[in-house]
């Protein structure tokens, strides 16, 4: 069951998730004193929010059914374990940098403006389709952190994930942490985190980067 104090937060998480993917599933992973609520977004990012311990086993359910259950007795819906097809990061990783919330919001807004310009005017004088523009922006790296162990690239898809899931809050909110766990890169906001494991590159669109020396 979902504890009463956590239902509003879980409901907000599920509502935002379902706006992005009506068929989404969520995975509840129990921990010590808490449960992690995981989901996969359509643009290749995992998002997670912690909630008070639910109890029981590691289980995957449909997001829509879980949202419906919140208005009743909040009993977990039927298991959909075979529908979960994604690896999870090996840990919460280590924080390598903090980015002001206002800067993360600015990066997201700049991407939206770049997308509008690319669709209206093309790229390099050539017209491009909306899907290609979207994929290029998601692959673009607007935040670069230089650490003693090397460079950490934060792609736009992670920025969009924390913004669309409302993990950041307002511009005056707590800073957003850049995290690293093996090959995984994460952005951790005040209300949740997004994780991505890089696999390739795409069309290069020019968006002002944010560089920091961690």
Give Cβ neighbours of residue 45 (< 8 Å, ≥ 6 apart).
157, 158, 160, 161, 194, 195, 196
Residue ranges, the chain, pLDDT below 50: 119-121, 125, 127-128, 200-208
**Cα 196 from Cα 214, distance rounded (Å):** 20
**Cα 210 from Cα 208, distance rounded (Å):** 7
Residue 204 sits in the same domain as residue 176: yes
Residue 125 sits in the same domain as residue 208: yes
Residue 103 sits in the same domain as residue 195: yes
pLDDT at 137: 78
Q: Per the domain annotation, does 88 fall within a domain?
A: no
Strands 45-52 and 193-196: antiparallel
Residue 104 sits in the same domain as residue 130: yes
Let me know how long the chain is: 214
Q: Per the domain annotation, does 89 fall within a domain?
A: no
Domain boundary among 83, 110, 144: 83
Range of the domain at 10: 4-83
Residue 212 DSSP class:
E
Q: Per the domain annotation, does 23 fall within a domain?
A: yes
Number of domains in the chain: 2
pLDDT at 167: 97
Q: Per the domain annotation, does 36 fall within a domain?
A: yes
Residue 124 sits in the same domain as residue 18: no
Residue 167 sits in the same domain as residue 76: no
Residue 205 sits in the same domain as residue 100: yes
What is the value of pTM for the model shown?
A: 0.85
Rg of the chain over Cα atoms, rounded to whole angstroms, equals: 18
pLDDT at 75: 80
For 112, half-sphere exposure in the C-beta direction (CA atoms, 13 angstrom radius) is 10
CATH of the domain at 57: 3.10.150.10
Residue 143: which of 134, 152, 131 has the closest Cα? Answer: 152
Residue 50 sits in the same domain as residue 77: yes
pLDDT at 206: 41
Helices 156-164 + 7-20 axis angle, to 10:
130
Residue 100 sits in the same domain as residue 23: no
């Amino acid at each position: 069951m979902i504890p009463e104090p956590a239902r509003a937060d879980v409901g907000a998480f599920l509502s935002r998730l379902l706006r992005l993917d009506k068929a989404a599933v969520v995975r509840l992973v129990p921990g010590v004193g808490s449960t992690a609520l995981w989901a996969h977004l359509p643009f290749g990012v995992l998002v997670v929010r912690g909630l008070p311990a639910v109890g029981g086993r590691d289980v995957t359910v449909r997001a829509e059914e879980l949202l419906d259950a919140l208005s009743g007795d909040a009993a977990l819906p039927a298991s959909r374990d075979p529908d979960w097809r994604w690896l999870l990061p090996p840990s919460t990783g280590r924080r390598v940098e903090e980015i002001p919330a206002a800067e993360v919001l600015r990066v997201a807004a700049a991407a939206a403006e770049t997308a509008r310009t690319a669709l209206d005017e093309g790229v390099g004088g050539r017209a491009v389709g909306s899907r290609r523009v979207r994929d290029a922006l998601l692959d673009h790296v607007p935040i670069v952190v230089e650490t003693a162990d090397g460079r950490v690239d934060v792609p736009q898809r992670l920025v969009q994930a924390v913004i669309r899931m409302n993990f950041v809050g307002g511009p005056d909110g707590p800073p957003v942490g850049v995290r690293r766990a093996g090959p995984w890169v994460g952005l951790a906001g005040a209300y949740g985190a997004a994780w991505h494991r890089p696999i390739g590159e795409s069309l290069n669109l020019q968006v002002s980067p944010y560089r920091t020396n961690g």
